[in-house]
Structure 1
Amino acid sequence: MLKSKFLYNCALQIRKMSSNASCSRLTGRVAVITASTDGIGLAIARRLAREGAKVVVSSRRATNVEKAVNDLKQEGLNVTGVVCHVAKAEDRKKLFAESEKLGGLDILVSNAAVNPEIGGVLDASESAWDKIFDVNLKASYLLAKEALPQLRKSKFGRIVFISTISAYVPLDVLGVYSVSKTALLGLTKAAANQLAPENITVNCVAPGVIKTRFATTLTESDETRKQVLDKIPLGRLGVPENISGVVALLVSDDGSYITGETIVAAGGMTSHL
């Protein structure tokens, strides 16, 4: 009981410290973040804006974009929003048109992902496979490619893909999703090698089990939650701010000599392919 209370208080303190984080590392820079109206994406948007960036948030639903923009603006942050389904070319075009209005793009964070089916990789339907790879992998590639004209004009080009710990240790309930996220690790390496001569860095972050709506499948029942916690050496679930801080490092000058890497933020969970 005491251990659980201690770990809970630790998580609350980390969230409080992260939410109060404020510096000017990103002043004058423009960031586009996909799927950024909830969970990890919203935490990244808030953190980068608090560090001085002008941030374009996006989501598939207009109501979600409107709410996120209003909430962040009430905090005094410089944000705007665009409805964007990352698998649709016309939506991606609107996304980068918005960053162009703000002066051009310096930072791209590709966070959007879907998982329409639960189950093992060989039990998935072909339609689920296609949808997952279209959004989780192909759209990340297309976003990076379409961002390049603006990133090449920046003196500060940064691309960050958001993967997952299951890219390293696939979970049975997230079969195809896990495979798509493993492929992101390869995309990160290949793109980083290609863009390094242009001083554009490409990195990846692999979150562990984070307290978000997306992770409800892994945490909704006491039994499942216990099984998950048993695999986490730190003994607690992560919070979105644990990931936003890592992204902020990678896209700042402090991360300028890091490229082609995947940083795992998973409380010590196994992370070897």
Structure 2
Amino acid sequence: MGINLKGAFYTARAVMEDMKDRNWGRIVFLGSMVSFVSIPGRAAYASSKTAILGLTRTLALETASNDICVNAICPGVFQTHMNSIWMKDTVKRQAFLEKIPKERFGDPEDLDALIVYLCSPGCAYMTGADLVIDGGWIIQ
């Protein structure tokens, strides 16, 4: 909770005043697919990431008039250091893959273009959004 929620809150608070002064800014929070689909044993993580979505919406409302856009990306299962231990378990790995219509895990590079867009002037009308990037898991 401390890192996922408090870290995001305090970081946003640290940059928002400057963004308001400039009357422009972009904030992209890192949520998670587990805000939409539960996974056993992940209660604290899921709770903190779901709280990120509330933070996203609230800050989006509070800063919209200053042309600040606040959005969250919510990745699914990605090949990251955090997931590397359980991904070595072939049974768990296959069980997760079977839930992903794209039939592969996400790669951090799958997020690059979206983050660049969310931080660009072209993203002037999107704020308060939760964007799920999960290979189709939650649409089932």
Q: What's the TM-score once normalised by structure 2's chain length? A: 0.93
Instruction: Judge conservation of contact 1:158–1:200 (CA < 8 Å) in 2.
Output: yes
Structure 1 counterpart of 2:50, which letter? T
Count of residue pairs the alignment pairs up: 140
Which of 19, 30, 51 aligns to 1:183? It is: 51
- Taking only aligned residues, the RMSD between alpha carbons, in angstroms, comes to 1.6
Q: CA deviation at 1:256?
A: 1.4
Give the percent of matched residue pairs that are identical in Structure 1 and Structure 2. Answer: 32
Alignment of 1:9-24 (within 5 A): none
Which of 3, 10, 14 aligns to 1:146? It is: 14
The structure with the largest alpha-carbon Rg is 1
Instruction: Judge conservation of contact 2:26–2:70 (CA < 8 Å) in 1.
Output: yes
Q: Would the alpha carbon gap of residues 164 and 217 (structure 1) be closer, same or farther in structure 2, given more than 3 Å must change? A: farther
1:207 aligns with 2:64: no
Residue aligned with 1:215, SS: helix
Q: Would the alpha carbon gap of residues 184 and 141 (structure 1) be closer, same or farther in structure 2, given more than 3 Å must change? A: same
Alignment of 1:125-204 (within 5 A): 133-204=1-72
1:211-239 superposed Cα distances (whole Å, 9 cap, x missing partner) = 11111244121101001001101110110
Q: Would the alpha carbon gap of residues 162 and 235 (structure 1) be closer, same or farther in structure 2, given more than 3 Å must change? A: same
Q: Distance in 1 between matches of 2:6 and 2:50?
A: 13
Structure 2 counterpart of 1:153, which letter? D
Of Structure 1 and Structure 2, the greater helix share is in: 2
1:139-169 superposed Cα distances (whole Å, 9 cap, x missing partner) = 2111111111221233530011001111111
Q: What's the TM-score once normalised by structure 1's chain length? A: 0.49
- Tell me which of the two structures has the higher relative contact order, counting C-alpha pairs closer than 8 angstroms and 6 or more residues apart: 2
Q: Distance in 1 between matches of 2:10 and 2:35?
A: 20
Which of 105, 117, 139 aligns to 1:249? It is: 117
Q: Distance in 2 between matches of 1:260 and 1:271?
A: 20
Q: CA deviation at 1:203?
A: 0.3
1:228 aligns with 2:90: no
Stretches of structure 2 that go unaligned for 5 or more consecutive residues are none
